[in-house]
Amino acid sequence: MINLFHLSVTVNGTLYEQEVEPRLLLSDFLRHDLGLSGTHVGCEHGVCGACTILFDNEPARSCLMFAVQAHGHKVITVEGLGTIDRLHPLQEAFWEAHGLQCGFCTPGFLTTLVPFLEKNPDPSEEEIREAISGNLCRCTGYQHIMDAVKLAAEKMRD
């Protein structure tokens, strides 16, 4: 018999309490137990970055964490950044600059970039490139993503 753990975690501002297996990955917990399927799983070995979420406001790979590690912590997923009716300026910028094609890697870029832009309101090209170097995208070749970040920085400064 597996010992279930009583997990208590705040996701996008809502407190969730649930019995989970210790080995349940955070990515699976968010996607399937909570139905927040915006966080995507690309590799399950921490390389592609599609599963990036904000863990206590810092970007982290949810595929490399167990849900129980989030006990008592605060998680923000892409669903917590903005809605279709109220897009985050970063989401707007991605839209305008064509920073996404298939959209699978996009949530991971967004969660990585939100804290980056908050700390670096006027980033240089080099700084942006470094900030996104840990996220893989197979569709865009990154150029429009770079454009989107520059545009977002502008929007967020205004």
Partner 1 sequence: MTKQFIGKRIKRNEDPRLLTGQALFVDDVEIPGMLHAAFLRCDYAHARILSIDVSAARERPGVVAVFTAEDMGKDWEPGPPLVSPPPTLQGVTFHSRRQAPLVKDKVRHAGETVAVVIAESRYIAEDAVEDISVEYDPLPVIVDLGKALEPDSPLVHDDLDSNLAAHLYQQKGNYEAAKAQADVVIKKRFYLDRGAAVAMENRGIVAHWDEKSKQLIIWDTTQAPIAIRNGTAVRLGLSENQVRVIAPYIGGGFGPKMMMFYPEEILIPWVSMKLCRPVKWIEDRRENFYATTSEREQLHDVEMALTKEGRIMGLKDDFLHDTGAFDPYGLTLPLNTQCHLMGGYDIENFSSNCTAIFTNKPIVTPVRGAGRQQGIYVIERMVDFAAKELAIDPLEIRKKNFIPPDAFPYNNVIVDQAFAPLILDSGNYLPVYEKAVEMIGYEQFVKEEQPRLRAEGKHVGIAITPFIETTGVGPYEGARVQIETSGKVYVSSGYSTQGQGHFTSFAQIVSEQLGVAVSDVRIVTGDTAEFHWGTGTFASRGAVVVGNAVHAAASAVRQKVLKLASKVLATPEDALELEDGKVRIADIPHTSISLGELAALANPLRGAVEPGTEPGLEATDYFGPQYGATAFGTHAMIIEVDTETMMIEIKRYIAVEDCGRVLNPLIVDGQIHGGVSMGIGNAYYEKLHFDENGQILNASLADYLIVTAYEMPPRIEIGHGETLSPLSKLGTKGVGEAGAIPVPALFAQALENALLDYDLEILETPLSPNRLFELLYKS
List contacts with partner 1 (CB under 8 A). Answer: 21, 23-24, 31-32, 35-45, 47-48, 50, 77-79, 81-84, 87, 91, 94-96, 98, 100-107, 110, 125, 129, 132-146
Residue 72 or 83: the one with the smaller Cβ distance to partner 1 is 83
What is the C-alpha to C-alpha distance for residues 133 and 81, in angstroms, rounded to an integer?
A: 21
Nearest approach in angstroms of CB 101 to partner 1 is: 4
Residue 9 or 146: the one with the smaller Cβ distance to partner 1 is 146
What is the C-alpha to C-alpha distance for residues 71 and 67, in angstroms, rounded to an integer?
A: 7
Nearest approach in angstroms of CB 32 to partner 1 is: 7
Residue 9 or 31: the one with the smaller Cβ distance to partner 1 is 31
Helices 89-97 and 143-157, packing angle to 10 deg = 140
Residue 9 or 152: the one with the smaller Cβ distance to partner 1 is 152
- The two tokens of residue 138 are 């197979």
Q: Match 């996008």 to its residue by tokens.
A: 12
Rg over alpha carbons for the chain, rounded to the nearest Å, is 16
